[in-house]
Amino acid sequence: MEINSVKKINIFYRIRKIWNNIKIFKKLDLYIIYSFIIPFFGIFFLTFVIFIIQFLWSKMNELSDKDISIFIIIKFIFCFGICTIPLITIISILLSTIITFGELSENGELTVIKSSGISLFRIMLPIFWITMILSIGLYLFSDFIIPKAEIKIKELGYKIIYTYPSLKLKEGVINNIGENFFINIEKKFKNNYFYKVIIFFYDDYSNINTIFSKKCNIIFNKKNKFIQLKLINGFIYKENNEKNKKYIPNYYIVNFNTLIKNFKFPYFSFEEIKNMNDDYKYKKTTELIKKIKFLKKKKNHININKINKIKLEIYKKLTFPITCIIMFFIGAPLGAIVKKGGIGYPTIIALTIYSLYYIILTITKNKVEKEEIIPWIGIWIPNFVLLLFSIFITNKSIMNDS
């Protein structure tokens, strides 16, 4: 009887000890999660605002003095912001983990926790699960939400550009602003006025027409959906290759003081954009895989280029979530090593790592687009480099503990 009583007491103490440990770990996990969540959302919001301001600053000259609806501008900015969320999430996870573990280490809390027998990996566990959830959410976001935002940006871009053609037209180069319509301008002024203009276009008989004009004003007719050109002081050169009209000369030149020309507005609707050559940007992963299978049946060089671009888009959707996880495994041990909290020092470290990642990603992406390397190698190289660095920094953190 006494032996059974002792066993019962031992079992009771074990259960109580386990329960106490659970309560301790629960409090510890909640404290670490709280220490991570606050800086994460602050950094995410701040980075989002910085991206938006940088975008507005780059477009300020083009959008100023234009009677563009503020509603369209807000929608354009909102859609642009949606498309930047993967990059913002990556840098937010990196910086917030460095800050969290840097502060824990700087305040001596990390040392106290480790001295109680809790390993660094166990301390990292709650934030790891948060990172996993964010990564899965980021993939779903990239697959379902961002394609719709990309389509909306394309639509709004065409609305703005063809309402204000001067946004698209560049000085000293041949610009294409419509179907079979090309224009070269020497100088552009406000309100869609241009100086010394050369225009090339094709008529219904595929004849080349050339217009030289000293001044030009481009107006978009919203009601009838065409672009109207008011040309002043110039001449038009027109070819004539119509059949059964031998009495007409092969070409003629007409001088004019004022000439009005209308051209069809090349507006793309929602459905038309989805069926464009670069429609791979607006599709989900399952749709992209189906398209690859379809293109592989028709083997030619053009389809191989398209397949590479589609594969690049698929890998982009897959790599960003993986990058988030790797950034976590860089930030947590790095914060424990540097023992610096706050914003200043961790921000410098995070921006250095992120900049190197973004530079490598841009270089390899360009290599893939030029067909110098295959898509999966090009898009996974940045993550492979980060993975090696995360292994190195984690190993160094473990060695410091020992």
pLDDT(307) > 60: yes
Minimal CA–CA distance to 44: which of 95, 77, 8, 88? 88
Q: Is the per-residue pLDDT at 14 higher than 80?
A: no
Q: How far is CA 36 from the centre of its chain?
A: 25
Compute the Cα dihedral for 276, 382, 331, 352 and give only its sign.
Answer: negative
Q: Which residues contact 141 (CB under 8 A, 6 or more apart)?
A: 85, 86
Q: Please list, in sequence order, all residues whose beta carbon lies within 8 angstroms of the beta carbon of residue 257, skipping any fewer than 6 positions away.
A: 232, 233
Q: What's the average model confidence in pLDDT over 93-118?
A: 87
Q: What is the pLDDT of residue 12?
A: 47
Q: Which residue would you say has higher pLDDT here, 68 or 27? A: 27
Most confident of 240-244, 256-260, 294-298: 256-260
267 vs 184, higher pLDDT: 184
If you ran DSSP here, which 8-state letter would residue 283 be given? Answer: S
User: Is the model more confident about 343 or about 383?
Assistant: 383
Q: Between the CA atoms of 87, 88, 90 and 95, what dihedral angle is there, to the nearest 10 degrees?
A: 140
Amino acid identity for residue 3 in this structure: I
- Round to whole Å and give the CA distance between 304 and 292: 9
CA distance 130 to 93: 10
Helices 344-369 and 70-106 cross at an angle (nearest 10°) of 120
If residue 199 lies in a helix (H) or strand (E), which one and from where to where? strand 193-202
What is the per-residue pLDDT across 280-291, written as a single tens digit (0 to 9) for each?
A: 777 888 888 888
**What pLDDT score does 291 carry?**
84
**Of 50-54, 189-193, 260-264, 356-360, the least confident:** 189-193
Tell which residue, 239, 187, 180, has the closest CA to residue 213: 187
pLDDT band at 98 (very low <50, low <70, confident <90, very high): very high
**Better pLDDT: 300 or 151:** 151
- Please report, for the chain, the start and end positions of each structural domain, with discontinuous segments joined by +: 2-157+306-401, 180-265
pTM of the model: 0.77
Q: How far apart are CA 156 and CA 268, in angstroms?
A: 10
Instruction: Report the C-alpha gap between 67 and 200 in whole angstroms.
Output: 28
Of residues 146 and 7, more confidence is placed in: 146
Q: Average pLDDT of 10-27? A: 56
Which pLDDT score is estimated for 248? 56
Which residues are CB-neighbours of 50 under 8 A, at least 6 positions away? none
Structural contact between residues 221 and 227, judged by C-beta atoms closer than 8 angstroms: yes
Higher per-residue confidence, 44 vs 71? 44
The per-residue pLDDT for 153 is 85
CA pair distance 324, 95, nearest whole angstrom: 11
Q: For residues 368-391, give the mean pLDDT.
A: 88
Residue 330 confidence (pLDDT): 94
What is the phi-psi region of residue 336: left when phi exceeds 0, alpha when psi lies from -120 to 50, beta otherwise?
alpha
Residue 41 is predicted with a pLDDT of 94
> Binning pLDDT at 50, 70 and 90, where does residue 19 land?
very low
pLDDT-derived band of residue 85, with 50, 70 and 90 as boundaries?
very high
pLDDT at 1: 47
- The β-bridge partners of 197 are 185, 213
First to last CA, the chain: 47
Average pLDDT over residues 36-43: 93
Which is higher by pLDDT, 6 or 182?
182
For all residues of the chain together, what is the average pLDDT? 80
Q: In b/e form, how buried is each residue of 140-177, taking b as 16+ CB within 10 angstroms?
A: ebbbeebbebbbbbbbbebbbbbbbbbbbbeeeeeeeb
Q: Which helix (H) or strand (E) holds 35?
A: helix 2-63
Convert the pLDDT of each residue in 195-246 to its tens digit. Answer: 888 888 877 666 778 889 988 888 776 666 677 888 889 988 887 665 545 5
Instruction: Give the model's pLDDT for residue 74.
Output: 85
Q: Given this model, what pLDDT does residue 328 score?
A: 95
Residue 157 reports pLDDT greater than 80? no
